[in-house]
Structure 1
């Protein structure tokens, strides 16, 4: 299996041209319209090095998907029988004829096997080539493109070709036409300083949460702490027992560094027992671990502090992924030599708070990446992604500036889901605010245009769609698509320590690591009882049909010039099934 960092290194992949020494006619493989908001700066320097990744077909992938379906269904006799690394690699391995055809083609261009990097399953081949050579092999021209809003610069093309005889042997090559980038959800937009005095969690005037028997300190309505979330989600007093077998991971991109000193201040403030403990750091694709205080990242600090603070003392890992624009013409992109998910022992829960508009990702690439997530799920890993911060819109937190148009040159008005949250093999986490909880007005949700709704969603999502007045948002969304989010959690007023001071921060990027931490605690309970980790979560969540969750029935998340969808009884595309009741869920998952 090969996914190398939940989002940063998705955007690397690669080329095509002739084979067997003799030139062959090239056949157009993919062509796209110039994407919106990207300006052509001219030809890319011919000596600039591109790490091209070639995806070989996986003829046995349907078998992998069948295994995943069975082991993720809590009512199936195989529930929890996760596959081994070797099992997964065998199921995604390409046919030998594809391996030979691709290497013959590469060798015809002077690229020897020793210069290629193959994933353990052999389903990806990576080569580093200068632009001039890649252009010749792919029958294309790479150009520099600049994003008009944030100034990022990418080297991409709008089309590429391959020899016709390679059609059945190469599924895709990137980075060619993929203009998507790992964009953080809008923590920085919900950023405000707060007093250095921690809120009291000892008030006698508790808020009662109707129907749950839970009471919460009133200060949690203005400042969210680890204590608040444990109170609200019924996890007070739970002590992890399987810390030698269980683990959680958080991912970081865009030079977001999780600062050790900030974490210690956070622990002293909210989790005193954790003071002195830390986390492992794994560097991917040129990622760094800069500990200069002014280089600390608010997103990274948020993820690590709440992900590890809630699940303490469960061991934690931070994956720091490099590859951030802007493009520097005379600098080679660092080669990705670290494949953390190839290890036999990988964290049972991984949370990611980065995504991009689904439509910016070529559909074949999105499906291939989504399949990589299925491989992790089959190995017993729960993948959680924040659902976005633009309601039904394009991820822009300000509804007034959202651009909800298709990226195919037709400029049709559409709701814009995010990827990877739209992948059916991950669990998407939306946002709530306040106590009692209501939907956050920025909580991302909607329906994929790339992925059909999976069978485990049919009943819950079908019921929601049937409740919509006829014609509601007709043509603006795909009613047959995979629906998001699946669940939700608190997503604003989080008290973290950033660059040495206490601040408030928020966004669904706060909800995802928090929810992931409670999943880590559920895994702890199962592992301590001799059971396997939960793995791919969504089939279990939909099988429970809301049992073990606080249903959120108030609020909405506007976008694209509309009020968006409403939070309603049962599942809805704003908060999913709602927020977790850890105590109830723990009792439930111990029965399977």
Structure 2
């Protein structure tokens, strides 16, 4: 991710309060205005230490991207021939000139001299919450270094962490279980086929319900063939062992006394204290492991914050340390074939250089054969953590322009983004995130599907509120509300985009298990397959809309739409397709 082939991964710099003026040798890289929520309360102590990450350009990323699409396209002769760790690292290694230039620069300054960035760090205090951080509003580098350094952080980036639990609980409260729950319901699929689902799944979604809704049937994973699944957790939110056992006793007795691997990343913790009020990754782990048992599972507890530019409307939000997590997992020789993560932020609050670097790291995962599933969001077309029915949406670039707010990492073209559905038959939820990126152009694999939606369905509606040329999301969807899970030692209900993502990830892990059992490589990056031959195994969702920004938002329609994507998966059909590849 931010490595320089084992050279200067993390540089520790002593902050000096004296301003170093070197106008003839430095040129500004970035200059910002501190967000109004942060107050400058004075110079940082001269002995304060900040760990700086210096990111060098990945010289051959274009070649990596070509490899990624080749091994992910079912029509390509190289489909499934994923790259090794060493092959990927060779492609993304910085140019030797960049390494040499940065090494020389650091050596000249002894790393301890603040003139290296020609800046002064200050202490900023958050008005409402009282948090204090050490930051600067601008930094510079010698002009000859600009082609060799993508970013240096944390410097100009102001951040706070808002955990997921508010969004999770609001989703549960917004959808009372007052629907038909007795008998059975016959569901007609997109292809005209029918399936029968227990009506109780309308009110409470269990693993048994998911197996019906996803048409998994009696298929079971192996615990010994090497298939694995991972869940990436951030923001001091954890998975609890005892909650997992309560869940198993309630829904999967054969799994009782089995567990998962807990991996700590970047100062992450394994907090098992029921009083911590920090177990919002419990639902994710319970859902994925409930579907894939006995395949092994890993929970990554990642500490730290990622860089952040505040919104005027949402000064506090989830700030996931994606870069730190990627540094860790990409350094491993073996990776889970499937990984789920249920975190998101407004795309505009993630500095574009950092977002692009993280997205490039996700591409490395895909090239190595890992399927990464991320959620589309819980705020419709706007606020990632607010009520989609009442939010207003504004840009944070100084223009204060009304605009739909795409989410990250949902908007990265190298991940599979999952939208939200509910009830039986399934309809889109009004909180399901969806939209169009302002950072990435639409990838070729979704050109036909999205172009048809824009010309035949949207037809100019909301012009100016979104980027019609941007990467569109979500790609697919799954059930998202009234999941029966265990938190804080008790069975309760949970819901949100993270549940849909976990459910879809569990299904993908079962598909990977089937391929491994037949001597085939894992699926890796899913989107080229889903937008081509995989379409026939997805059930189109045509009812429901995602509200937000003072508008009715996008509606689910025939074909791809920016609320449920291509639709919900049919495991049995997908299994037949992926085994034929």
Partner of 2:400: 411
**Is residue 365 of structure 2 the alignment partner of residue 376 of structure 1?**
yes
Q: 2:479 aligns with which of 472, 478, 490?
A: 490
Q: 2:197 aligns with which of 197, 201, 216?
A: 216
With over 3 angstroms needed to count, the CA separation of the structure-2 counterparts of 1:88 and 1:351, relative to structure 1, is same
Q: 1:13, 1:511 → 2: CA distance?
A: 39
Conserved? CA contact 1:13–1:52, under 8 Å:
yes
Partner of 1:579: 568
With over 3 angstroms needed to count, the CA separation of the structure-2 counterparts of 1:152 and 1:192, relative to structure 1, is farther
Conserved? CA contact 1:308–1:517, under 8 Å:
yes
Q: 1:227, 1:488 → 2: CA distance?
A: 19
Conserved? CA contact 2:207–2:251, under 8 Å:
yes
Specify every segment of 5 or more residues in structure 2 that has no aligned partner in the other structure, as ranges. Answer: 4-9, 16-21, 307-320
Q: 2:175, 2:561 → 1: CA distance?
A: 33
Partner of 1:226: 207
Deviation for aligned residue 1:392: 0.6
Residues 349-428 of structure 1 correspond to what in structure 2 (within 5 A)? 349-399=338-388, 402-428=391-417
SS at match of 1:521: helix
User: Bigger relative contact order, structure 1 or 2, given CA contacts below 8 A and separation 6+?
Assistant: 1
Partner of 1:114: none
Q: 1:152, 1:486 → 2: CA distance?
A: 37
Deviation for aligned residue 1:35: 4.1
SS at match of 2:262: strand
Q: 2:487, 2:123 → 1: CA distance?
A: 35
Conserved? CA contact 2:2–2:53, under 8 Å:
no
The count of corresponding residues between Structure 1 and Structure 2 is 548
With over 3 angstroms needed to count, the CA separation of the structure-2 counterparts of 1:390 and 1:149, relative to structure 1, is farther
With over 3 angstroms needed to count, the CA separation of the structure-2 counterparts of 1:205 and 1:384, relative to structure 1, is closer
Partner of 1:507: 496
Partner of 1:117: none
Partner of 2:66: 66
Partner of 2:508: 519
Render the CA deviation track for 1:84-128: whole Å, top value 9, x for unaligned. Answer: 0000000011111111111111112213xxxxxxxxxxxxxxxxx
Specify every segment of 5 or more residues in structure 1 that has no aligned partner in the other structure, as ranges. Answer: 4-11, 112-128, 196-200, 326-332
Q: 2:394, 2:482 → 1: CA distance?
A: 32
SS at match of 2:535: coil
Q: 1:539, 1:31 → 2: CA distance?
A: 39
Residues 314-325 of structure 1 correspond to what in structure 2 (within 5 A)? 314-323=295-304
Render the CA deviation track for 1:255-295: whole Å, top value 9, x for unaligned. Answer: 11110000000001011111111000110111000111222
Q: 1:316, 1:573 → 2: CA distance?
A: 31
RMSD: 3.0
With over 3 angstroms needed to count, the CA separation of the structure-2 counterparts of 1:489 and 1:466, relative to structure 1, is same
Conserved? CA contact 1:16–1:163, under 8 Å:
no
Conserved? CA contact 2:223–2:293, under 8 Å:
no
**Is residue 119 of structure 2 the alignment partner of residue 140 of structure 1?**
yes
Q: 1:174 aligns with which of 147, 153, 160?
A: 153
With over 3 angstroms needed to count, the CA separation of the structure-2 counterparts of 1:45 and 1:559, relative to structure 1, is farther
**Is residue 284 of structure 2 the alignment partner of residue 295 of structure 1?**
no
Q: 1:108, 1:405 → 2: CA distance?
A: 44
Q: 2:469, 2:507 → 1: CA distance?
A: 31
Normalising by structure 1, report the TM-score: 0.86
SS at match of 1:384: strand
Partner of 2:544: 555
Normalising by structure 2, report the TM-score: 0.88
Conserved? CA contact 2:376–2:419, under 8 Å:
yes
SS at match of 2:536: coil
With over 3 angstroms needed to count, the CA separation of the structure-2 counterparts of 1:261 and 1:463, relative to structure 1, is same
Conserved? CA contact 1:14–1:173, under 8 Å:
no
Render the CA deviation track for 1:500-557: whole Å, top value 9, x for unaligned. Answer: 1111111101111111010000000001011000001111111136311111100000
With over 3 angstroms needed to count, the CA separation of the structure-2 counterparts of 1:399 and 1:339, relative to structure 1, is closer
